[in-house]
Amino acid sequence: RALLRPGGLWTSLDVVERTGSTNTDLVAADGPEGAVLVAEEQSAGRGRLDRTWSAPARSGLFLSVRLTPGPGVPVARWGWLPLLAGVATATALSRAAGVDTALKWPNDLLVTVDGQERKAGGILAERAGDSVVVGIGLNVSLRAAELPVPTAGSLALAGAAVLDRDPLLRAVLRSLEEWYLRWRDAGGDPGPSRLQEAYAAGCATLGRTVRAELPGDRALVGEAVAVDGDGRLVLATGDGVQEPVGAGDIVHLRP
């Protein structure tokens, strides 16, 4: 099945040698839904809250896509988009490379390397008018000595069967198309599209006690018990109190 086919989600696929950040480029481009931008190298890759995403040239997958959910999906439900991208990427990596990944709410993809959880990927969703630009960064071929931060891992270190960029890219885009269309056609409700269920099954955060650091040096400590209809993490903070935390409010989530 062709990736760019009439009636499909993906409308264009551009691969550039080098850019600052594929997210910055697509946010500025204001193009149609389904535009995909892939870079071999990013000189100013971005994470959330002015953090950086750094990876050597050609060591991974760096891509951004433009999604425009339309009036059928309430804006509050857009909070599911980064989580959806995580589920789609995890599904693709399992199918195409035989690698198991766990999702750390809201936007990290973890692999196990020598019995330890390491971050092998991250997702950055940014609003651009009536669209959301979703960026996915994946550490693919990095060896231990090349990891940008001590907490990082890579598909290679996790024993992936496939490390070539193109088959991984295809698998990720196919899976993202499937999950996104199902979610959008269900009005963004993560229940009927089975997204909520798939996220919960793959999420390493649920069931753990975590400390959610919020802006202004505030923090909440509680057991992560659910991800709600808007993609917020629900913390049970004691005495029956449940506090939903949105991805946009969280600075760090620590064990």
Residues that bind ligand BT5 (CB under 6 A): 21-23, 42, 45-48, 51-55, 62-64, 107-108, 119, 122-124, 135-137, 139, 148-149, 152
Return the structure tokens found at 52: 């950086």
In DSSP notation, 43-94 reads: SS-B-STT-B----TTSEEEEEEEE---TTS-GGGGGHHHHHHHHHHHHHHH
Nearest distance from residue 144's CB to ligand BT5, in Å? Answer: 13
Nearest distance from residue 79's CB to ligand BT5, in Å? Answer: 15
> Nearer Cβ to ligand BT5, position 173 or 193?
173
The phi, psi pair for 116, rounded to 5°, reads -120, 145
- Residue 108: strand pairing partners: 104, 122
| Cα distances (Å, whole numbers) of residue 65 to 29, 69, 113, 187 | 11, 13, 29, 20
> Nearer Cβ to ligand BT5, position 73 or 85?
85
> Nearer Cβ to ligand BT5, position 26 or 73?
26
Do 86 and 69 contact (CB within 8 A), yes or no? no
Nearest distance from residue 52's CB to ligand BT5, in Å? Answer: 6
3-state DSSP assignment of residue 115: coil
> Nearer Cβ to ligand BT5, position 28 or 241?
28
What is the H or E stretch that residue 227 is in? strand 218-227
> Nearer Cβ to ligand BT5, position 47 or 246?
47
Nearest distance from residue 93's CB to ligand BT5, in Å? Answer: 15
In DSSP notation, 184-209 reads: HHTTT-TTTTTHHHHHHHHBSSTTSE
Reference 189, options 49, 74, 101; nearest CA is 74
Nearest distance from residue 238's CB to ligand BT5, in Å? Answer: 27
> Nearer Cβ to ligand BT5, position 30 or 185?
30
Nearest distance from residue 211's CB to ligand BT5, in Å? Answer: 16
Reference 175, options 84, 106, 99, 109; nearest CA is 84
Q: Going by DSSP bridges, is the β-strand pair 233-238/108-113 parallel, antiparallel, or unpaired?
A: unpaired
> Nearer Cβ to ligand BT5, position 19 or 91?
19
Nearest distance from residue 15's CB to ligand BT5, in Å? Answer: 13
Residue number with the smallest Cβ distance to ligand BT5:
122
